[in-house]
Structure 1
Amino acid sequence: MQNDLFPTDAESERLRYEPFHESVEILDLYEHHRSGEMDVVMRPLGENPHATPKATMDELQSAKEAWESGERATYTISSKSDGEFVGVAEQWLEWDKRRASFGMWIREPFWGRGCSSERAGTMSYVAFEWLDLDLVSVGHDPENEQSRRAIEKYVDAYCGQHDAVLRNWLPSNDFGDPTGVHVYSILQEQWRENVTTAEIATIRVGA
């Protein structure tokens, strides 16, 4: 079953976005987990790398089901220049609240290259222009300084705000502890007033 809610491809200045469940091969993704490179990526998320290809298959199946139900849009991020796998971007939809919550992870070789802000700009465009939502939100673990810096950069650019610190907000993770979260939000009006024409010109969203 298909749905027509989410764009099936998008591009920004350097990055391309495609449905996760359609654009990644199970064993290719599992190889990133098996190689050990995902340890540093997954730990700040409170998760362990996949122990088996079945875990990878289950993740892709979950992404497909959530996409088809309209609950979550998960995209593979790749480099436009060479097609290299960069990471994953997500939007969790709360339709009754007219909001989306962002999530993402990026492979370590792409840290510090501005990929988080570029992805946030594209996903904000999808949320506000394509889905006509009122608000997007994003959060990070209070101890994750890298995420804090990346999030504050684009939240400040769109004149969003830091809303709260929610202690023990997320359930126990792979390491056994509930996790707190810093929460930020951007209103559609704030995004429209502060997104630049130059940024919009770099974004292409397909059907």
Structure 2
Amino acid sequence: MFPERILTDRLRLDRHDAAVDALEFYGHAGASGSDTVAEECEFLSWRPHDHPKESRDVLADFAEAWDERGSATYAVFPREGEPGAGEFAGNAGLHLDWDTRVGTLGVWLRKPFWGRGYSGERALALADLAFRRLDLDLLAVAVFPENGKSVRAIEKYVERMGGRREGRIRNEVVPDGKGPRDVLRFSVSQAEWREAVGDESHAEFVEELDG
């Protein structure tokens, strides 16, 4: 159902659990593995991993959700010609609620890859997956109001896709180890997206990884 690789102009998105092993993942997501991960997680719903087994368990969760068609999580790599080409830059997910036909976007990018427009590029690619391939009705994304940089990035790509800011939802999430927090929710319907982008494609799907 999900392509194992998605290519954009500047990024390669590979099925996460098949592309990155637990030790490499921990080296970037672990509390003692990265000098920047605490800052990267400030506005995310998860905290840095305590040990390599936690990274391994997260990868197992990614694989289970993939196999059960509940979500598709991809490891993000800059393509050739980009700074840090081939280096693990973070992950990107599309989480699915089939009953409501809603897909929800998620992303974590490592600090060295901030400010390049990668978040918007992967969002446009996953919108192709959500609407062209999976025929969902709605694509949504939520962000903590305090995360000003991400709010501006989301506003930009949601507007490009013809979507809108729905509003502030109070006490919507309880991040790991933290109290309830509000989020801003944005969304775009398939009809709005098709009117905005037409036949323009933002992704190439590759069904299986080539190893």
Both structures adopt the same fold (TM-score exceeding 0.5):
yes
Alpha-carbon separation, structure 2, partners of 1:203 and 1:100: 17
Aligned residue in 2 for 1:178: 180
1:8-87 correspondence runs (5 A): 8-32=4-28, 33=30, 34-81=33-80, 82-87=85-90
RMSD: 1.3
Residues 51 and 36 (structure 1), Cα distance of their counterparts in 2 relative to 1, 3 Å cut? farther
Whether 2:135 is the aligned partner of 1:132: answer yes
Any unmatched runs of 5+ in structure 2? none
Any unmatched runs of 5+ in structure 1? none
1:124-203 correspondence runs (5 A): 124-174=127-177, 176-195=178-197, 200=201, 203=203
Residue type matched to 2:78 in 1?
A: S
Residue type matched to 2:159 in 1?
A: D
Per-residue CA deviation, residues 98-133 of structure 1 (Å, 9 max, x unaligned), is 110000011111111000110001000000011011
State the SS of the aligned residue for 2:42. Answer: helix
- Contact 2:45 2:174 (8 Å CA) reproduced: no
Percent identity over the alignment is 38
Residue type matched to 1:93 in 2?
A: L
Alpha-carbon separation, structure 2, partners of 1:66 and 1:94: 12
Alpha-carbon separation, structure 2, partners of 1:131 and 1:51: 35
Aligned residue in 2 for 1:95: 98
Aligned residue in 1 for 2:3: 7
Q: Which has the higher helix share?
A: 1
Residue type matched to 2:38 in 1?
A: D
- Contact 2:101 2:138 (8 Å CA) reproduced: yes
State the SS of the aligned residue for 1:36. Answer: coil
Residue type matched to 1:11 in 2?
A: L
Residue type matched to 2:186 in 1?
A: Y
How far off is 1:8 after superposition? Answer: 1.1
Q: For 1:114, which of 107, 113, 117 is the aligned residue?
A: 117
TM-score (norm 1): 0.92
Per-residue CA deviation, residues 127-155 of structure 1 (Å, 9 max, x unaligned), is 00110111100010011101101100001
State the SS of the aligned residue for 1:146. Answer: helix
